[in-house]
Structure 1
Amino acid sequence: MNLFSLTTVGILDNVARKRIADIFPSLLDNVRYVVKDHLPYSINEIADGAYDNGIVYLHSRSILETAIHKIGHAIHYQLFNGEALGFHAYEIREFINHKEQFAEIFTEMIMKKSQNKQLDIQEEQCFKMILDYLSS
């Protein structure tokens, strides 16, 4: 029995993975990561390469959107090499950099798709990029 799956963080990761898989059934087959619990923010800031190496850090107080956001970083790094993907600038959003932009747009897209809500232009672009990746 996998006891991690019974912890708060394990349950959160399972819910996030299911939410993503409901929209992109095979997407997470292409991404590998290990969930680490209780990593302080200051250490996370200096953990360059963590996403490249398939490590996703969550804290047990994370919410579902945070888990999806972190998995979004792993997807961005592993499937799209962490590159700026040129999202349409139709909607003004405050992002620190293109890495946060992808993770935030991915999170909003997953949450809206799971609730059958309308996607904005950037979320539609993200959805199409992932579908294109999966069909290649």
Structure 2
Amino acid sequence: MYSRQMKHVLQELAAAAAWLLFGGYLAAIWRLSSGYLAAIWRLSGCYLAAIWRLSGCYLAAIWLLSGGYRAAIWRLSGCYLAAIWLLFGCYVAAVLLLIGYYLAAIWRLFGGCLAAVWLLFCCCLAAILLLFGCYLAAI
């Protein structure tokens, strides 16, 4: 059992050393902390994506790599749908959706469950219609 653990440690050190040879000092450190993907992204120059990857926000890191900075930030705040629409370039739809979520949450706190549900439905519908309008305009 001791030799198996030692072998694993040596493998980890060897992998870190290999990355260190390529000039990725920080990548080698992150590799040792089990952040394989973070280390790869660090080597490619995406510092923020690597940090978010280390904190467990895989989707935010992926979106950040694809250029969706605001989408990644909104993903971190829990607004998945707003982030998706933002990635498609529909900023107004994403903002409407965010406003709808926040207003619905406030109304829900005051006991207006049904009002909150209606607000979300109306806001989602408005955003969908806006998306549809954007696509038609593009065509």
Which structure has the larger Rg over C-alpha atoms? 2
TM-score by length of 2: 0.28
TM-score by length of 1: 0.29
- By percentage of residues, which structure has more strand? 1
Higher relative contact order (CA 8 A, sep 6+): 1
